[in-house]
Amino acid sequence: MHQVDMAFRDKPDGSILANLSNPVFALYQRRDPRTSEFAEMLIHRSELLPMQTCRKICGTFRRFFGMIMQRMRPADRERLLARVPGLNRYLARMIVEGVAVSETSSLAEQLKPIVENPRTDPEIVTLAGRFIRRELRVSGLNRWPELYTLIK
């Protein structure tokens, strides 16, 4: 993690930070528990960066972030989800998409507070709403009672 500290020192550049993906992927492949810590640290430190730099970082880590979140403990995922309202749309999107692809149980219940929070960026509300509708569609008729009455 020493490389992460160095990359975020002074005025970090998006290209330099994007280069962190290789050592972090090596940690991921070894199933190193520090990978989850890195994900949380990336969100925390990127919040303060200029929007363009943050966008570059999120573009680099977005898909990889979902893989990391698959191995995260549920409490760590929930902590990241709780931070979504108030984050810029790039960081928020990375978290929401990461949780959605990590096959989290009760995804709709976890995303609902994000959708309902007035501090959540409207783009993220729309994104989270799509994932909620997808889960409700595929989770059976007991979740969509109005569909059941239509097909009776």
Q: How far is CA 97 from CA 10, 79, 81, 91, in A?
A: 30, 15, 11, 10
Higher confidence at residue 8 or residue 83? 83
Q: How far is CA 2 from CA 20, 23, 26, 42, 86, in A?
A: 11, 11, 14, 13, 28
The structure's pTM equals 0.80
Q: How far, in Å, CA of 152 to CA of 142, rounded?
A: 14
SS3 34: helix
Give the pLDDT band of residue 151 (cuts 50, 70, 90): very low
Q: How far, in Å, CA of 130 to CA of 95, rounded?
A: 15
Check residue 8 and give its pLDDT: 62
User: In the chain, how many domains are there?
Assistant: 1
**Backbone conformation region of residue 76, classed left if phi is above 0, alpha if psi is from -120 to 50, else beta:** alpha
Q: How far is CA 89 from CA 2, 22, 24, 95, in A?
A: 28, 24, 23, 10
Domain coverage including residue 117: 2-151
Q: Residues 15-38: what's their mean pLDDT? A: 81
Radius of gyration, alpha carbons of the chain: 17
Q: Is the pLDDT of residue 20 over 80?
A: no
Check residue 152 and give its pLDDT: 39
